[in-house]
Amino acid sequence: MPRFQTTAVHAGREDFVELCVHAPPLDLSTTYPVPDLDVGSASFDALVAGQASAPNPIYARLHNPTVARTEGAIAALEGTQACVAFASGMAALTAVLLARAQHGRHVLVVRPLYGTSDHLLASGLCGLEAEFVQADQIAARRRPDTVLVVIETPANPTLALVDIRAVVEAAGDVPVLVDSTFATPVLQRPAALGATYVLHSATKFLGGHGDVIAGVVCCDEAHAAPLRTVRAATGALLHPLAAYLLHRGLPTLKLRVEAAQANAQVLAERLARHPAVARVHYPGLPGAVNGHLVGSQMAGPGTLLAFDVHGGHDAAAAVMKRVQLITPAVSLGSVDSLIQHPAGLTHRVVEEAVKAATGITPGLLRLSVGIEDVEDLWQDLTQALASS
C-alpha cells in the first residue's frame, strides 16, 4: 500500500491515464441528460437512498463526479471506506446529527469544541438532547437512547487532547464522532482508533489556502449512505469548484502541516517564556492536557497554539491590532498565520459560564501558525506583545 505522501499526491487520480488528463476534471453541470427514463428512474432511487454512485447522476444535488473524486482521495488519506463531502463543516456535522436522530435523541458531548458546534448541539435545533460531560463520565452517562458521542481533539481553542481509544471503549456500541480538523490525517487517524465518524472542516488544512469552504465526514459505507440521503434532501452538497480546489490542496497537505508544526513548536516555547504571556496551550509543551498522547494517538503536537496574555480582553485586543505580518482573522489551517480572540469571535455564542469552565478566558488568543519563516513570525509577535 502506498505511503501517506504518495497517496496524497495520487488518490482520486487513478483513471487519469485512461481519461488522457493530468489535472482533475472539473464538472460544473447542474443537470445531466436522461435519454433512458428507466435507467434515470433507477439512478434517482439509488442516489436518494444514499448510494455513492449510479449509472446517471441525474442532478448535481444528488451527485457530482468532481466531488466524488475528492471524496475518494480524502477517504484514502483517512483509511476509511467512504467520505461524504458537504458545503461546510457545520453542514457536515448537521448531517451526522440528523442521520443519528433517526435512532434516538440523546447525544453525549465533551467540551471544549468549536463554538458553533457547541451552539448547534446545545440549541437542540436538530431535535437532539445534548448532554455535556467529561470524557471519563461517558460510560456512566450512556442511556438506551444515546445515539452519538461527540469529541474534538485537539480541542478548539485550548488544544486539550482527548483519548480517542478510551472514549470509544466507554461509548460501547454508541457511535463516536471525532472532529479531527486540528490534527488532519497527517497527525491522527481516528477511524483506526475505533471512531465511527471522522469530521473535518475541510475549509482549514485540507484546503489549506483560505479559498474554499467545505466539510467532510469519513466513515464506513454503512454510515455514509444515510449521510448522502440527508445531503440530497437538504441540498448540502459541496460545490464542484470547491471540491476541485480541495483536491488540489491535498498533495501538499503533509508538507504544509509539518512545516507549520515546526514553527508552532518554536513559537510555543518562546511564548511560554515571554513576560506578557500568562499561559501557553500547546500539546508539545510540558504539562499539556493529555500531552502523553503525542507520539501515540497523534504523530505530532500540531500547528495551532493558544496563549493567555496578562491584561485580559484589552491586552488581547491590542495584540490583534498591532500584528503586522500575522493576519487578525478567524479560521485556521492556511499557509499564512492567523490570530483570533475565541471569546469574542469563534466562541462568542458559547455561554459565559461554559467559556470560563473550559479555559476560554478574556485574554486568550488562538494562533494558527503558517509556513512563513519562524523568525519573522516571532518578530511580529514580540512587537505586538511589547506593550501588553
Q: Which residues are catalytic?
A: 61, 114, 179, 204
Distance CA 203, CA 331 (A): 8
Mode of pairing for the β-strands spanning 327-328 and 338-340? parallel
Cα–Cα distance measured from residue 201 to residue 159, given in angstroms and rounded to the nearest whole number: 16
- How far apart (Å, rounded) are the C-alpha atoms in residues 216 and 320? 31
Q: Is 61 helix (H, G, I), strand (E, B) or coil?
A: coil
Give the number of other Cβ atoms within 10 Å of residue 303's Cβ: 31
CB 300 within 8 A of CB 261: yes
CA atoms within 13 A on the CB side of 185: 29
Residue 302: phi and psi, rounded to 5, are 95, -175
Element spanning 365, H or E: strand 364-368
What secondary structure letter does DSSP report for 83? E
Q: Is 228 left (phi over 0), alpha (psi -120 to 50) or beta?
A: alpha
- CB-side neighbour CA atoms (13 Å) of 319: 30
DSSP 8-state code for residue 193: G
Q: How far apart are CA 270 and CA 264, in angstroms?
A: 10
CA pair distance 215, 315, nearest whole angstrom: 34
Angle at 158 between CA 336 and CA 5, to 5 degrees: 50
List beta partners, residue 110: 133
Cell of 64: 457530482
Cell numbers 467520505 label which residue? 83
Percentage helix, strand, coil for the chain under 3-state DSSP, each rounded to 5: 40, 15, 45
